[in-house]
Amino acid sequence: MVTNVGSLGRTGVADFVLQRVSAVVLTLFGLCVGGWFALNPEPTHAAFVAWFTAPAMSIFATLALAALAVHAWIGMWTVGTDYFRPHYFGRFATLARGVWLGGTALLTFVYVAWGLAIVWRLT
């Protein structure tokens, strides 16, 4: 049976707001990075690193990584609780949904950890 145990915000309202706020953050981050390339038609690696590693940009990138994790989890949890039904998977529906959400959690963790290592130069 589908339950809301994996719901990030615990209520539909919180999930709804988190999904939209995270979408706005990701859009702004995308526009910011895209804008830098638009303003620097011949970018160099050194110039990009200098801009991207500035403290304000590192904080913004961290915020974008958090938004990515939140947005991905809410979206994938919604997909998982919609499509992984006994109608398609029989008695393995809950197991299939667990694998789907476990994979999502693992992939999200890897992306966020990898992203943080890049942004904060932890390697």
Partner 1 sequence: MRVSLYRYNPDTDAKPRMEDRELELPQGKDLMVLDVLELLKAQDPSLSYRRSCREGVCGSDGMNINGKNGLACTTPVSEAAPRGKLVLKPLQGLPVIRDLVVDMTQFYRQYERVKPYLINDEEPPAQERLQSPAEREQLDGLYECILCACCTTSCPSFWWNPDKFVGPAGLLHAYRFLADSRDTADAERLAELEDPFSVFRCRGIMNCASVCPRDLNPSAAIAKIKTRLVSDGI
Binding residues (CB under 8 A) for partner 1: these are: 2, 4, 7, 9, 11-17, 78, 81-83, 85
Between residues 12 and 30, which has the closer beta carbon with respect to partner 1? 12
DSSP secondary structure string for all residues of 94-123: HHHHHHHHHHHHHHHHHHHHHHHHHHTT--
Number of H helices, E strands in the chain: 5, 0
CB of 7 to partner 1, least distance (A): 5
CB of 11 to partner 1, least distance (A): 5
Q: Is 49 helix (H, G, I), strand (E, B) or coil?
A: helix
Between residues 15 and 70, which has the closer beta carbon with respect to partner 1? 15
Residue that is written with structure tokens 């974008």 in the block:
64
23 alpha-carbon distance from chain centroid? 9
Between residues 36 and 89, which has the closer beta carbon with respect to partner 1? 89
Between residues 4 and 40, which has the closer beta carbon with respect to partner 1? 4
CB of 15 to partner 1, least distance (A): 6
Residue that is written with structure tokens 């963790």 in the block:
109
CB of 12 to partner 1, least distance (A): 3
Amino acid in the structure at residue 12:
G
